[in-house]
Amino acid sequence: MHERARVRVVLVTDPAFSDEAIARCILSAGAALRPGILCVQLRDRSRLRAGLRLFGERLRITTSAVGARLVVNGDARLARDVGADGVHLGRGSGSVADARSVMPGGWISIAAHSDEDVRRASEEGADAALVSPVFPTRPPSPSGRAKVPRGLGAIRQARALAGRRMAVIALGGVTQGNAGACVRAGADGVAVMRALLASPDPARAARAIDDAMARRW
């Protein structure tokens, strides 16, 4: 597996939280984990591109301060311009090849809502697939629409399809209570939102999530 794919905790930003709250969470959680373990995924569909760029630049400074990685949702050029480590591609975000032409050597992850998404990501040479939704989410999703949880079986199938070159990241309703189950099912890491952003103690929450996955590593 590509060394850059060895991310264990992905914090997906949520515009429901203020920029200050997100920055504080990153600094707290990042300081509690070894460098390279935490990755911050900038996802915010509510901002105009100029505002997204400013926030991305701020997150680059914040993540660098604690040795965390930074990826930007859906825009390889913006990711490159803010100095991010990679880009996360969803539907309509272009191909892995397109992203690599903009960010050679960058960490490229793919949104995988089906087994076919995982298969395509592996064939295209993505570094990671974020498999979702694994568990029920509260609130249901950033869009407010409920999504049917796919369960741990989706992780097991993704692992079989991905082999060992591509990382499998579990997303959707992941907490410190079920992170270990995700890893035992074959995930290399987990992606969270409120488990860290809504925690009164992000450092403690981050350590608990990391510890829950420790037996796999």
pLDDT in tens, 45-70: 999 999 999 999 999 999 999 999 99
Query: What value does the mean pLDDT take over residues 89-103?
Result: 94
**For residues 139 and 173, what is the distance between their CA atoms, to the nearest angstrom?**
9
What number is the average pLDDT over the span 21-44?
97
Q: Is the pTM of this model over 0.85?
A: yes
Domain ranges in the chain?
3-216
Mean pLDDT of all residues in 100-110? 96
Mean pLDDT for the stretch of residues 13-35: 97
Looking at residues 102-127, what average pLDDT do you find? 96
Check residue 217 and give its pLDDT. 47
> Which pLDDT score, from 0 to 100, does residue 199 have?
97
> How many angstroms separate the CA atoms of 208 and 167, rounded?
21
Tokens of 11: 């914090």
Given this model, what pLDDT does residue 1 score? Answer: 41
Fold entry, domain 3-216: TIM Barrel (3.20.20)
Q: What percent of the chain has pLDDT over 90?
A: 87
Instruction: Check residue 20 and give its pLDDT.
Output: 98
Residue 177, amino acid: G
List pLDDT tens digits, range 203-215.
999 999 999 998 5
What residues have CB less than 8 Å from 24, skipping those under 6 apart? 202
Tokens of 58: 């701020």
Our CA dihedral for 44, 203, 127, 133, rounded to 10 degrees, sits at -60
Tokens 């369960």 -> residue: 151
